[in-house]
Amino acid sequence: MSERLAPGDTAPDFTLSTDTGESVTLSDLRGEKVIVYFYPAAMTPGCTKQACDFSESLDSLKGDGYTVLGISPDKPEKLAKFRDKEHLTLTLLSDPDKQVMTQWGAFGEKKLYGKTVQGVIRSTVVVDEDGKVENAWYNVKATGHVAKLRKDLGLQGDLTA
């Protein structure tokens, strides 16, 4: 089982490809607060709902100083289709070998329909300006997660209004 990150930990650095083929390196974002969220698969109902919620809240999260990165094991081509189909505005990153997910505690044993399986653990980690973990949530619910995250971070209002 992979270790989960906890507040105060240094966030493991990574460089991953976006749906447009560019690369994003976490350490390049020092000085910004970064919300990194891990989801199992593009174009599935729960992941679509979560990605749309993040997209709808993106302007407000940016206004509060946050960059949002969504990471899944999907290939960049599938992420590009996901972005186009759902009109997503956030940065989607591809982690096909699940190496970053494992380092961040977002891949490992989980319960699925009563069985223990290996898979992506829906997780959200907030990284501060110095690259340290500010908050980490594991096994989050896809629906309503962004509203809860905003509340937990002390951000005003819900932007879906």
pLDDT tens for each residue of 5-34:
999 999 999 999 999 989 999 999 999 999
In this prediction, residue 2 carries a pLDDT of 55
pLDDT tens for each residue of 89-128:
999 999 999 999 999 999 998 877 888 888 999 999 999 9
pLDDT tens for each residue of 24-62:
999 999 999 999 999 999 988 888 899 889 988 988 899
State the Cα–Cα distance between residues 105 and 53, nearest whole angstrom: 23
pLDDT range class, residue 160, cuts 50, 70, 90: very low
**Distances in whole angstroms, Cα of residue 124 to Cα of each of 20, 45, 130:** 23, 18, 18
State the Cα–Cα distance between residues 52 and 137, nearest whole angstrom: 19
* Cα 27 from chain centre: 16
Question: What is the bridge-based pairing of β-strands 66-72 and 91-94?
Answer: parallel
Give all strands of the β-sheet with 91-94 in edge-to-edge order: 23-25, 15-18, 91-94, 66-72, 33-38, 123-127, 133-138
Model pTM? 0.90
Q: Which domains does the chain have, with CATH numbers?
A: 9-150 (3.40.30.10)
Is 52 one of the annotated active-site residues of the chain?
Answer: no
Out of 47, 80, 92, 136, the active site residue is: 47
